[in-house]
Amino acid sequence: MPMLAPLSPESLWELGRSVHSRLPGRAGRTLDPSQFEIVTHLAELILPETDTPGATSVRVPAFIDLMLTEWYSASERDQFLAGLAEIDARSRRVYGGVFLDLRASDQEAMLQAFDGGQGVEGSAEYTFQVLKQLTVYGYFTSERVMKEVTREPTIPRRFDGCTPL
């Protein structure tokens, strides 16, 4: 998330909390219904519901949509959306169907291939990396995860190692 790189840990934390507090009742400002569906499915594959909430339970897909809308430039959004389309295009080439219709084992195989890849902007690999970062960021800045899972901020405060005590 290059646009967030200059932010301090405290600023990242505050931004995440702010975005969560402003999530709309329904998402879809940047993502159309089909794109929102694939983002929802991918986020849930990254952080599934177990004995802890999954990405969908804490509204990570809506978080991603709002981040894309308010924090990404038009070209970054276009590259992300092109990568989502490439995920489906590659799914059709390799498995003969759109990603959401694939068997779970085929979806997992595709994600494993994307996960380690260093794709160019707009590629499936690039978009999966961005999606994974936004999913983790949105998940761990959600109030529910803070209260039920971590019970403390996951982004550390500032460290001043050479200060007199």
Q: Is the pLDDT score of 147 beyond 90?
A: no
Domain assignment present for 156 = no
Domain assignment present for 144 = yes
Residue with more model confidence, 155 or 85: 85
| Residue 99 CB burial class (10 angstroms; 0-12, 13-18, ≥19) | buried
Tell me the pLDDT tens digit for each residue of 4-13.
Answer: 777 888 888 7
Domain assignment present for 162 = no
Domain assignment present for 50 = yes
Is-contact 72 3, C-beta < 8 A? yes
Amino acid at 63: F
Residue with more model confidence, 149 or 164: 149
Domain assignment present for 58 = yes
Q: What pLDDT does residue 163 have?
A: 56
Task: Show the tokens assigned to 34.
Answer: 């089909």
Q: Is the pLDDT score of 1 beyond 70?
A: no
Is-contact 40 4, C-beta < 8 A? no
Task: Show the tokens assigned to 106.
Answer: 């085929």
Contacts for 141 with CB less than 8 Å, ≥ 6 apart: 13, 16, 17, 19, 20, 154, 155
Q: Nearest to residue 135, comparing CAs of 22, 5, 38, 50? A: 38
Q: What pLDDT does residue 155 have?
A: 56
Tell me the pLDDT tens digit for each residue of 75-125.
Answer: 999 999 999 999 999 999 999 999 999 999 999 999 999 987 778 888 999
How many Å separate Cα 159 from the centre of its chain? 27
Domain assignment present for 143 = yes
When divided into structural domains, the chain yields a total of: 1
Nearest-5° Cα angle at 123, 63 to 48: 40
Longest dimension (CA), the chain: 64
3-state secondary structure of 132: helix
Name the residue with tokens 């499915």: 41
Confidence of residue 130 (pLDDT cuts 50, 70, 90): very high
**What distance in Å separates the CA atoms of residue 59 and residue 57, rounded to the nearest whole number?**
6
> Among 17-21, 80-84, 110-114, 149-153, which is the least confidently predicted range?
149-153
Domain assignment present for 91 = yes
Domain assignment present for 157 = no
The total of other beta-carbon atoms located within 10 Å of residue 156's CB is 10
Q: Which domain holds residue 39?
A: 7-150
